[in-house]
Chain A
Amino acid sequence: MKFILSILLLTLTTISFSQNYTISGSLRDSETGEDLVGARVLVKDQPGVGVVTNVFGFYSLTLPKGDYTLVYQSISFSNFEFKVTLDKNIEKSLELNPESSLLNAVEVTGVKADENITSAEMGVDKIKVSDLDAIPVLFGEKDIMKTMQLLPGVKSAGEGSAGFYVRGGGADQNLILLDGAPVYNASHLLGFFSVFNSDALKDVKLYKGGAPAQFGGRLSSVMDIQMKEGNSKRLAVSGGIGLISSKLTIEAPIVKDKGSFIISGRRTYADLFLRTLKNSTDPQKIALSKSTLYFYDLNLKANYRIGKKDRVFVSGYFGRDKFGFSDQFGFDWGNITGTVRWNHIFSEKLFSNTSLIFSNYNYKINFGADDNTFEIGSEIQDYNLKQDFDYYLNAKNTLKFGGNLVHHTFKPGEIETGSGIAFVLNDIAKRYSIESALYLANEQKIGKRLSINYGLRYSSFSQIGPGDIYEYDTDGNVIDTTAYGDLENVVTYHGLSPRFSTSYLLNEKSSIKGAYARTYQYLHLISNSTSSSPTDIWLPSSNNIKPQTSDQVSLGYFRNFKDNLFEFSVETYYKKMLNSIDYRDGAEVTLNPTVEGELLYGEGRAYGVEFLLKKRRGKFTGWVSYTLSKSEKLFDQINNGTWFPAKQDRVHDISVVAMYKLNKRLTFSASWVYYTGAAVSFPEAKYEIDGAVYNYYSERNGYRMPDYHRLDLGITLKNKNFKLVKNAETGKEMEVPKRFESSWNFSVYNAYGRENAYSITFAENETTGLTEATQIALFKIIPSVTYNFKF
């Protein structure tokens, strides 16, 4: 007893000699008041010691008692140095000046933009929303999702589809979060635009190599999108008017520096062009002139600081696409998300965020008019409670832990008929499930060179009643039906997902990184088409559908050249997926209450190597990315049980992006993409049944669509944003910045007009009777003009 007591005393005295104190606070942009995400707080002359602000701009750094010079830095902001004597816990929040700001009183030190070398995160792509300005995109719309596809490992699902594939995974394997709310269908207008109005966004991060433990539920990637909070210093308005769409964003403080809001809206008016067909003689074109084709987006957010420790956010997104043919057919779909979040600072080391999230995706198809109407609708709705903690244990360890509880409701098919329709069709039964997770992770620095990020996520998924649950035989016939009551458990799946990533600094300029992640996916997108369409149905795991799992290992080498002027990386990965889902040949996927009987289960694997070379500064900036990869599947009942290429398999994928800033006003940009065509099934012979000729296919996905390539060009011309004022004393003319800024953007999509194949069909020529292959290409040269303004 006495021995233990003396040890305890000794330990306590030792601790009291090396007392630690914490400096914590929030970092914001001095011009707009926006939180700085991922900004660094470093200790000068102590390399490797420091922390990074979280998604709310909060940081906490614990150091032994003493004197320090702290350096606060963020990309495209001026560094701020702060001398502090740390002898008690200090609260230090501050605002950093943007590099371009005229308020720069401090020296503009070259920001050490070596985050790609030092960060333990790998397989992560970050996009700065301001970079989107220069990159030319279809119809002149700045688009986060299209720009992501220019990075290695991320592939477009093809023209006419906003879906994307990450490292050989399917389009439903990407978790897209807007302020924490899942967005189930991120595409407008059959994929030509994404649902994200980039004027309302602040930060986008794409995890492709296995996301950290706080994320889960999709196998291939997590796209974490943060909306802007809104300028909390003054009213700011920005917008753009274009040929196809226009947008407007208004942000202002509620109480200066305490609270602000942002409203951002966008609408297209493509159907205006259809009105011009009114005078045609072709009855099809006349019907089109009476049609509607538009979409709109609305992003709303407000936030308010209550005291020093609390902050509340409310954000919402409403988006809808409407497509109507003549007045007889309508198809509309859209997402609604809503999030209420509460930040609370429990102590200088413990930051908490509680979120209440609502997400809804639905579509409706209607036919007919008056009494002879027929409407089919499908919907998925989530209610989600999330709790996240960031615990900054000390300068070497940052812990993240928390939990998540989601209630899902699926309506695969709801049918309503007008009084003129004689028959009755039953709705497809609703399905319910509860998904939950707990996670714990730590980001740890060991010595000066090694960082590791390790964590464990425990997730569980329960299919619950009410409803009729079917059991099937191997041919897909229903052999049993059981009725379940409200909230009665049908089946529960659960599993542990370990996540691990590490980075080792070889020297100041280079590092190697490695990662391993296991993920579970409980929701599956059932699609009946070769390209993703809004009529795809989300189905939950059930007594028949097991969760999909994936294990991914990746390894990378990162090197910067010429003082971080050039960034180079090469990453390689191998991913193994189990319980992959595909459809029987001839599956009935639409409006089928027993659709689970149409599914087949197998496995998949994907592997590849990704190269990226980026030039970050100077008049000329841009990047080249190249991915060489393979993605294949194995199912007993498809292709005779042999490996076949997945639809998303793309051997080569190249993107070249270049931006040239001629002067302060004029910027030229170009992007060129090239990729191998998707794997597809082509017929090899034909035969006659019942008097008609049909094609014969010998294998699944044995052929390729023609290679895809395209060049986009753009010019941005900034109007003069200053006025000349004569200085009364010196008589010299000075440039005084104007508050109103504007610019013109001219862009050309597919500048050399290549007809890239959207689909290829084999059919008999009516005159010769011989089979021929017809290719449909969607877009040839599309120019566009947009006028953007800001004040």
Chain B
Amino acid sequence: MTLKLISKFVLVISISLSIFSCEKIIDIPVDESAQKVVIEAATSNLLGDSYVLLSKTATLYGQNIFKKVNNGTVKITDKNGVEVTFTEDGTDVGKYTHPTFVVTPNNTYTLQVNIEGKDYSAESSTQSTTVIDSIYVVKEPNNGFSPGGGGTNENDSINLVFLAYSDKVNEKNYYRFNVYTNGDRNKRMNITDDKVTNGQNINGPFFDSYESKDTVLVEMVNMDKANYTYFYSLANTSNGGPFSASPANPVTNLDNGALGYFGAYLKDTVSVIIP
């Protein structure tokens, strides 16, 4: 919630500054010699939804070609010592999966990866699953500055999708909401914790508007603090503009200098069709 407001604020300041200022492309030489390992490990309670992607960084000014890593070893162990090895399925180089692995509540998972002789590991834990209570659509007049309104939207009214869920008061919860409109993933990062809303029944809209007949699928992801910190700092990864924090790498739960994250998620999905 707060993140969106702050980004709106930043947008407004940037617009005003752009009236008076000048922009130009400049040449900044940097030391491009470093190459790091990138591990994207996303596992969930839905069957077939867990994967680990291994790749490498590309040079800053070079092409966006991120070398995939094959022949790495990927293992996940839960708190009971049950170990599972993920393997490349052959077609997708650098993508490691497992046919039956699912994440369960109140568990702790340890990821171990070996790439070219170096070891990397991380831990992620789960609590109970907070599910979506309901999803509904509200039609509101387009008043220029409401979520999703104004600017390019010229309709008289906008459709907002509201989500309702109940936060558990005895847990520190961290959530992310992935929104798919007609199957396409919405790029906006919706991420929140329960610091100011602990134990409450949350009822709020997504800051986008939707067209009539759209199918909107919302995936609610329960994650741990380390993943929340990772995605929060990733979303804030400023590219160094004014009003942004000093640029830094997002806080990862992986060790040994790897970039990326390891998450064990509990998901719940629900969808609605805009009338």
Does A492 lie at the interface of the complex (its beta carbon under 8 Å from any beta carbon of B)? no
Partner of A586, one of B1, B20, B144, B250: B250
Is A423 a contact partner of B9 (Cβ separation < 8 A)?
A: no
Is A759 a contact partner of B27 (Cβ separation < 8 A)?
A: no
**B contact face: mostly helix, strand, loop, or mixed:** loop
Is A586 a contact partner of B248 (Cβ separation < 8 A)?
A: yes
Interface string of B30-42 (1 = CB under 8 A from A): 1111111010100
A686 to B36, CA, bound (A): 9
Is B242 a contact partner of A590 (Cβ separation < 8 A)?
A: no
A contact residues, range = 35 or more
Question: Which chain B residues lie closer than 8 Å to A697 at the CB level?
Answer: 247-249
Interface string of B17-32 (1 = CB under 8 A from A): 1011111111110111
Please judge, given known A-B contacts A685-B32, A695-B237, whether A777 and B21 are in contact too, CB under 8 Å. Answer: yes
Is A367 a contact partner of B145 (Cβ separation < 8 A)?
A: yes
Does B196 lie at the interface of the complex (its beta carbon under 8 Å from any beta carbon of A)? yes
Interface string of A357-376 (1 = CB under 8 A from B): 00000000101111010101
For B59, the closest partner residue in chain A by CB is: A685
A582 to B259, CA, bound (A): 23
Is B248 a contact partner of A687 (Cβ separation < 8 A)?
A: no
A-B contact count (CB 8 A): 232
Does B169 lie at the interface of the complex (its beta carbon under 8 Å from any beta carbon of A)? no
CB distance from B201 to the nearest CB of A (A): 9
CB distance from B2 to the nearest CB of A (A): 5
Please judge, given known A-B contacts A328-B144, A423-B203, A695-B239, whether A685 and B12 are in contact too, CB under 8 Å. Answer: no
Question: Which chain B residues lie closer than 8 Å to A647 at the CB level?
Answer: 246
Does B245 lie at the interface of the complex (its beta carbon under 8 Å from any beta carbon of A)? yes
Q: Which of A340-389 contact B (CB under 8 A)?
A: 365, 367-370, 372, 374, 376
For B40, the closest partner residue in chain A by CB is: A689
Is B246 a contact partner of A530 (Cβ separation < 8 A)?
A: yes
Does B16 lie at the interface of the complex (its beta carbon under 8 Å from any beta carbon of A)? yes
Question: Which chain A residues lie closer than 8 Å to B197 at the CB level?
Answer: 423-425
Interface string of B223-256 (1 = CB under 8 A from A): 0010001101110111111111111111100000
Does B66 lie at the interface of the complex (its beta carbon under 8 Å from any beta carbon of A)? yes
Does A724 lie at the interface of the complex (its beta carbon under 8 Å from any beta carbon of B)? no
Does B60 lie at the interface of the complex (its beta carbon under 8 Å from any beta carbon of A)? yes
Question: Which chain B residues lie closer than 8 Å to A632 at the CB level?
Answer: none
Is A700 a contact partner of B245 (Cβ separation < 8 A)?
A: no
Partner of B60, one of A376, A426, A700, A762: A762
Does A85 lie at the interface of the complex (its beta carbon under 8 Å from any beta carbon of B)? no
Partner of B30, one of A529, A682, A764: A682
B-contacting 9-mer, from A99-107, A237-245, A247-255, A766-774: A766-774
Question: Which chain B residues lie closer than 8 Å to A314 at the CB level?
Answer: none
Is B64 a contact partner of A693 (Cβ separation < 8 A)?
A: yes
A370 to B143, CA, bound (A): 10
Question: Which chain A residues lie closer than 8 Å to B248 at the CB level?
Answer: 585-586, 681, 697, 700
Does A531 lie at the interface of the complex (its beta carbon under 8 Å from any beta carbon of B)? yes
Please judge, given known A-B contacts A530-B246, A695-B247, A700-B246, whether A283 and B145 are in contact too, CB under 8 Å. Answer: no
Question: Which chain B residues lie closer than 8 Å to A477 at the CB level?
Answer: 225
For B20, the closest partner residue in chain A by CB is: A778
Interface string of A460-488 (1 = CB under 8 A from B): 00000000000000000100000000000
Please judge, given known A-B contacts A365-B9, A530-B245, A688-B55, whether A774 and B24 are in contact too, CB under 8 Å. Answer: yes
Question: Which chain B residues lie closer than 8 Å to A594 at the CB level?
Answer: 195
For A531, the closest partner residue in chain B by CB is: B242
CB distance from B231 to the nearest CB of A (A): 9
Does A690 lie at the interface of the complex (its beta carbon under 8 Å from any beta carbon of B)? yes
For A323, the closest partner residue in chain B by CB is: B16
Does A684 lie at the interface of the complex (its beta carbon under 8 Å from any beta carbon of B)? yes
A239 to B33, CA, bound (A): 60
Is A586 a contact partner of B36 (Cβ separation < 8 A)?
A: no
A758 to B63, CA, bound (A): 28
A762 to B59, CA, bound (A): 13
Does A588 lie at the interface of the complex (its beta carbon under 8 Å from any beta carbon of B)? yes
Does B200 lie at the interface of the complex (its beta carbon under 8 Å from any beta carbon of A)? yes
Partner of B202, one of A423, A684, A686, A778: A423
A287 to B149, CA, bound (A): 14
For A782, the closest partner residue in chain B by CB is: B20
Please judge, given known A-B contacts A689-B38, A698-B34, A777-B22, whether A424 and B200 are in contact too, CB under 8 Å. Answer: yes
A590 to B9, CA, bound (A): 12
Is B20 a contact partner of A684 (Cβ separation < 8 A)?
A: no
Is A593 a contact partner of B249 (Cβ separation < 8 A)?
A: no
Question: Which chain A residues lie closer than 8 Å to B249 at the CB level?
Answer: 585, 696-697
Is B60 a contact partner of A686 (Cβ separation < 8 A)?
A: yes
Question: Which chain A residues lie closer than 8 Å to B229 at the CB level?
Answer: 586
Please judge, given known A-B contacts A367-B8, A684-B30, A762-B239, whether A422 and B203 are in contact too, CB under 8 Å. Answer: yes
Please judge, given known A-B contacts A588-B232, A684-B34, whether A760 and B60 are in contact too, CB under 8 Å. Answer: no
Question: Which chain B residues lie closer than 8 Å to A687 at the CB level?
Answer: 36, 38, 55-58, 66, 259-260
Does A703 lie at the interface of the complex (its beta carbon under 8 Å from any beta carbon of B)? yes
Does B146 lie at the interface of the complex (its beta carbon under 8 Å from any beta carbon of A)? yes
Partner of B243, one of A284, A531, A584, A694: A531
Does B204 lie at the interface of the complex (its beta carbon under 8 Å from any beta carbon of A)? yes
Please judge, given known A-B contacts A586-B251, A759-B240, whether A374 and B145 are in contact too, CB under 8 Å. Answer: no
CB distance from A440 to the nearest CB of B (A): 42
Please judge, given known A-B contacts A368-B146, A423-B203, A703-B30, whether A329 and B12 are in contact too, CB under 8 Å. Answer: yes
Is A590 a contact partner of B6 (Cβ separation < 8 A)?
A: yes
Does A257 lie at the interface of the complex (its beta carbon under 8 Å from any beta carbon of B)? no
CB distance from A243 to the nearest CB of B (A): 14
Question: Which chain A residues lie closer than 8 Å to B38 at the CB level?
Answer: 687-689
Is B250 a contact partner of A288 (Cβ separation < 8 A)?
A: no
A759 to B238, CA, bound (A): 12
Partner of B240, one of A584, A690, A761: A761
Does A306 lie at the interface of the complex (its beta carbon under 8 Å from any beta carbon of B)? no
CB distance from B275 to the nearest CB of A (A): 21
A682 to B239, CA, bound (A): 9
Is B203 a contact partner of A586 (Cβ separation < 8 A)?
A: no
Q: Which of B34-82 contact A (CB under 8 A)?
A: 34-36, 38, 40, 55-64, 66
Question: Which chain A residues lie closer than 8 Å to B27 at the CB level?
Answer: 773
Minimum-distance CB pairs A-B, first 4 = A586-B233, A328-B145, A761-B239, A685-B57
16 more CB-based (< 8 A) A-B contacts, given A685-B58, A775-B24: A325-B15, A329-B8, A329-B145, A426-B196, A585-B248, A586-B236, A590-B2, A681-B246, A685-B59, A686-B58, A687-B260, A689-B234, A774-B24, A775-B23, A776-B17, A778-B17
Q: Interface on B for A, CB 8 Å cutoff?
A: 1-2, 5-6, 8-9, 12, 15-17, 19-28, 30-36, 38, 40, 55-64, 66, 143-146, 150-151, 185, 187, 195-197, 200, 202-204, 225, 229-230, 232-234, 236-251, 259-261
29 contacts between A and B (CB under 8 A): A287-B144, A329-B8, A331-B9, A367-B5, A367-B8, A477-B225, A528-B244, A529-B242, A585-B233, A586-B233, A586-B251, A588-B232, A681-B247, A681-B248, A684-B60, A686-B60, A687-B38, A688-B66, A693-B64, A698-B34, A762-B240, A773-B27, A775-B24, A775-B25, A775-B26, A776-B17, A776-B21, A776-B23, A777-B23
Q: Interface on A for B, CB 8 Å cutoff?
A: 160, 283-285, 287-288, 291, 293, 325-326, 328-329, 331, 365, 367-370, 372, 374, 376, 422-426, 477, 528-531, 533, 583-594, 647, 680-698, 700-701, 703, 706, 755, 757-764, 769-780
